[in-house]
Amino acid sequence: MADDKKLVEAITSMEEDFAQWYTDVVKKAELCDYSSVKGCMIIKPAGYALWEQIQQQLDAKFKETGVENVYMPMFIPESLLEKEKDHVEGFAPEVAWVTHGGLEPLQERLCVRPTSETLFCDFYKNEVQSYRDLPKVYNQWCSVVRWEKTTRPFLRSREFLWQEGHTVHATAEDAEARTIQMLNVYADFARDVLAIPVVKGQKTEKEKFAGAESTYTIEALMHDGKALQSGTSHNFGDGFAKAFDIQYTDKDNTLKYCYQTSWGVSTRIIGAVIMVHGDDSGLKLPPKVAPTQIMVIPIQQKKEGVLDKAYALRERLLKSGFRVKVDDTDKSPGWKFNECEMRGVPFRIEIGPKDIENNKCVFVRRDTREKTEVALDDVEAKAAELLETIQKDMYEAAKAHLESHIYSAVTWDEFCDTINNKPGFVKAMWCGEQACEDRIKEELTATSRCMPFEQEQLSDTCVCCGKPAKKMVYWGRAY
Amino acid sequence: MADDKKLVEAITSMEEDFAQWYTDVVKKAELCDYSSVKGCMIIKPAGYALWEQIQQQLDAKFKETGVENVYMPMFIPESLLEKEKDHVEGFAPEVAWVTHGGLEPLQERLCVRPTSETLFCDFYKNEVQSYRDLPKVYNQWCSVVRWEKTTRPFLRSREFLWQEGHTVHATAEDAEARTIQMLNVYADFARDVLAIPVVKGQKTEKEKFAGAESTYTIEALMHDGKALQSGTSHNFGDGFAKAFDIQYTDKDNTLKYCYQTSWGVSTRIIGAVIMVHGDDSGLKLPPKVAPTQIMVIPIQQKKEGVLDKAYALRERLLKSGFRVKVDDTDKSPGWKFNECEMRGVPFRIEIGPKDIENNKCVFVRRDTREKTEVALDDVEAKAAELLETIQKDMYEAAKAHLESHIYSAVTWDEFCDTINNKPGFVKAMWCGEQACEDRIKEELTATSRCMPFEQEQLSDTCVCCGKPAKKMVYWGRAY
């Protein structure tokens, strides 16, 4: 059965070349494909089903906090994009411009939205009149375009899918509270659904969103020790409100500017799922987000009764609410095992003539490969239990990996050595000056990932310049 | 309570000016709004929630038939769009062109997808190698852009949301079967979920999709007697496969061209829901698709216990799986009634101190305004019953309207008189020549809606030219 190994052999090992491993997994697990539109990807059924799971579950969390979904145009007139100075500076260099509609040139260029702050502001300007209209807590699921030079599937592409929440509030306090609330929704979702532990904190001035007063982030650590910014939440203060003239009449009958936020998670987070959990056999999907949670693989399926038993198992498990499939193709069992591992199905059930005789089947976990015999009568209960265990164990494994890859450095030498030789997050003190961030980026290709909410006083001086320290920062190389 | 009438008074009556009534309802029911991007709309929470219901339920139906969702790029390189001759002729005049990425001009123009046949073909060309790879039954939910000159909310806008299914098959028979299958999914969905009866049939050569071998359609009749094409399903034969060189190796080891289909439903169908069911008080939403199915309206809500009882009712109804809200704003009950009618909530529950004393509440139907006293203990059962009744009655009312507005004409004079004086569908025989369609369009501003599957032989000659008739056609004025 040399064939059975083909899928696996075709993958580069993680240790050998992590970047190539990533590309191989994305391709072999059939998550996405390149298109003939440079820098844009095709999200294939397995990848899109994963996005649907993420979308549905995150959307439900949003709605619990009062979010309402809307849809804004995909085009932004150039004059609208230009209304907020920092914002346009940040985005104008990387947008796609529509200049012709049908056969005629447009009077004003339209950019394809790279993000929709300006459209929401333009809308809120008319929609919000009185304190009674506040807050508005809107979100949209859509695709956005940023004309990136170098692209990688899910991590950086010219078009990607995301959600962008845009809210407007009466007070600065309300806006800050919503900003933090949504960051926590993201962090909890990463932990509870994606089994990904994250570091929560604030971005530095240099790294914050164009036009924001403050940007908060969840940072995850990939298997190779590089960081991935996995979700951000921005507090705009009244900056956009002043640029777009969004005012409301308060209870005291005076006109006041509104306060705004925005927050987003994109298909990039699929990259995090791949790179946090995957191994040399392919994807490993956390049960809560796996489009297929259980794959039933019949052994000697041509023998009478085997396929029937496999289908019966599927029906029972479907009825209990699991996402389950039977692989009844004419491939060999070994091939099916490999394929099912490549695609990250949390566990498979093997069932053959001998199992049926003994009224049992075999559960094989994707994460640990552990095999357990299960009496056919107990299948539902044991499946529920195992999915829960896998979800928990995957989180614990990721957490252990994260924790064992957080270092701290006090001196510049320590810092350089750690960044260069120990992939992971490096905690170090910072004076607050961009010059030090710039030097670290230039010399070490590392960036400030965030100023974590949980601050420590590692020393009194900046790791880079030696001046008095203001903040402890998580530094790292990042995607 | 003069205030209570405001919402309603602001609406133009349907009989007076149907077009203005439509615009008023869209605006007052807060379904959508104009944007500062000419011809593009903003879909507001009430409108988007309706789309989410449509999307979720239709998507579930798709998946039952084996459809898998994917996501293709939103851009199409000009050279790709041009590969199928009829297709590019049909779409090129109305697409938006991206000419610059960031600060630089593109080497090749990209159009924003008006539809994605060309992208799917380009993908299938590599994806399909063997008969084992067939069929592929993919769909995507996305927005598309067509540079329309005149636009109307939901009915015709430069950008709209839709789903587009694209399938590829081994044989012509398989493709035809899938084309009809999806048309039936649409027709059943319109009937069972949207309470809209439709006429199913085939489009004429003149009206078919650019590049299709045959186009099938579901046509609905609006309250004003105009038709609305509400969903289409196209059989491409092997035309696109030949243009894009999509071939597979069959079991007999020979190379064969594939056969393809595509099918779509858009936010346009929200226009159908509005114009089939609405009345002078606003929207009327079929229970199955209403984002809010029941509105609980407390009467004298400041009296002790009233709001608590309203909330308790909501909790009970939510637990039973209904989509229910309490209107606990400080507006007057009369205002709330009007607002709830404007928004099309299928029925409201009124509950005040006297009701509570008598352990009852009052159900008021949106469609008939009928009031029923309901014992508080029976609320869940009676609510389920009433929603079912409303769904059924709304369908019956729409069906009666449709049936009473289908006319037939044998002579040209009859035909002209009916088209001009009796808004609705006119059945008439047709020779099959486009010249007659052109004349009918020019002289009567009516179009062939479809050649219905259920053919009748009204006479032997074409209603227009008198030559031998080939088909019975449904004619009408249309949106």
State mean pLDDT over A9-32: 94
Q: Where are the beta strands (DSSP E) in B186-258?
A: 199-202, 214-221, 227-237, 247-249, 255-257
Nearest-by-Cβ selection for A69 from B48, B102, B103: B48
- pLDDT at residue B186, as a whole number: 98
HSE (side-chain half, CA atoms, 13 Å) at A108 = 13
pLDDT of A6 above 80:
no
Is A346 in a helix, a strand, or coil?
coil
Residues from chain B contacting residue A35 (CB–CB below 8 Å): 72-73, 119, 122-123
Give chain B's mean pLDDT. Answer: 96
pLDDT of A2 above 50:
no
Query: Is the pTM here over 0.90, yes or no?
Result: yes
Residue ranges of chain B with per-residue pLDDT less than 50: 1-5
Structure tokens, B116? 């994605």
CA–CA separation, A71 and B40 (whole Å): 11
Superfamily of domain A406-476: C-terminal domain of ProRS (3.30.110.30)
Cα torsion angle, B338, B342, B343, B344, sign: positive
Hey, are the CB atoms on A36 and B101 less than 8 Å from each other?
no
pLDDT tens readout for residues B281-319? 999 999 999 999 999 999 999 999 999 999 999 999 999
Domain edges within chain B: 15-277, 294-389, 406-476
Q: Where are the beta strands (DSSP E) in A14-158?
A: 32-34, 41-43, 68-69, 75-77, 96-101, 104-112, 136-145
Local confidence band at A194 (pLDDT 50, 70, 90 cut-offs) = very high
Residue spans of alpha helices (H) in B220-305: 239-244, 268-277
Q: Which residue, among A33, A36, A141, A331, would best test binding to B if mutated, counting the most B CBs under 10 Å from its CB?
A: A36
Chain A touched by B383 (CB under 8 Å):
no
Hey, are the CB atoms on A100 and B97 less than 8 Å from each other?
yes
CB contacts < 8 A, A to B, total: 142
Residues from chain A contacting residue B36 (CB–CB below 8 Å): 77, 80, 122
Q: Percent of chain A, pLDDT > 70?
A: 98
Residues B317 and B326 sit within 8 Å (Cβ to Cβ):
no
Side chain identity, residue A215: T
CA–CA separation, B373 and B23 (whole Å): 35
Chain A touched by B145 (CB under 8 Å):
yes
pLDDT of A435 above 90:
yes
Residues from chain B contacting residue A159 (CB–CB below 8 Å): 73-75
Local confidence band at A3 (pLDDT 50, 70, 90 cut-offs) = very low
Q: List the 12-41 stretch of A: residues with Cβ below 8 A of B.
A: 33, 35-37, 40-41
Smallest CA–CA distance, residue B407 to chain A, in Å, is: 39
- pLDDT at residue B36, as a whole number: 86
Smallest CA–CA distance, residue A199 to chain B, in Å, is: 31
Classify residue A93 by its DSSP letter: G
Structure tokens, A108? 């004003």
Residues B366 and B343 sit within 8 Å (Cβ to Cβ):
no
Classify residue B102 by its DSSP letter: T
Structure tokens, A335? 């091939």
Residues A14 and A280 sit within 8 Å (Cβ to Cβ):
yes
Smallest CA–CA distance, residue B394 to chain A, in Å, is: 27
Hey, are the CB atoms on A45 and B68 less than 8 Å from each other?
yes
Local confidence band at A397 (pLDDT 50, 70, 90 cut-offs) = very high
Nearest-by-Cβ selection for B98 from A52, A98, A102: A98
CA–CA separation, A372 and B107 (whole Å): 58
- pLDDT at residue B2, as a whole number: 43
- pLDDT at residue A10, as a whole number: 77
State mean pLDDT over A357-370: 97
Side chain identity, residue A105: P
Matching residue, tokens 């209990």: A320
Residues B197 and B220 sit within 8 Å (Cβ to Cβ):
yes
CA–CA separation, A54 and A123 (whole Å): 28
State mean pLDDT over A341-355: 97
Name the residue in chain A with its Cα closest to that of B108.
Answer: A37
Lay out the sheet containing A75-77: strands in order across. A75-77, A104-112, A96-101, B96-101, B104-112, B75-77
Structure tokens, B124? 């299938």
Instruction: For the domain covering A13-277, report its CATH number.
Output: 3.30.930.10
Distance of CA B462 to the CA centre of its chain: 31
Residues from chain B contacting residue A122 (CB–CB below 8 Å): 35-36
Hey, are the CB atoms on B37 and A77 less than 8 Å from each other?
yes
CA–CA separation, A163 and A142 (whole Å): 6
Smallest CA–CA distance, residue B310 to chain A, in Å, is: 20
Smallest CA–CA distance, residue B236 to chain A, in Å, is: 22
Q: B15-277: what CATH class?
A: alpha beta
Q: Which residues contact B466 (CB under 8 A, 6 or more apart)?
A: none
Q: Where are the beta strands (DSSP E) in A369-446?
A: 371-375, 406-408, 425-430
Hey, are the CB atoms on B33 and A123 less than 8 Å from each other?
yes
Matching residue, tokens 């909310």: B153
Local confidence band at A1 (pLDDT 50, 70, 90 cut-offs) = very low
Residues A313 and A16 sit within 8 Å (Cβ to Cβ):
no
Name the residue in chain A with its Cα closest to that of B59.
Answer: A52
If phi > 0 it is left, if psi is from -120 to 50 it is alpha, else beta; for residue B39 that is left
pLDDT tens readout for residues B404-419? 999 999 999 999 999 9
CATH of A294-389, one of 1.10.1060.10, 3.40.50.800, 1.20.1260.10, 3.40.50.1370: 3.40.50.800
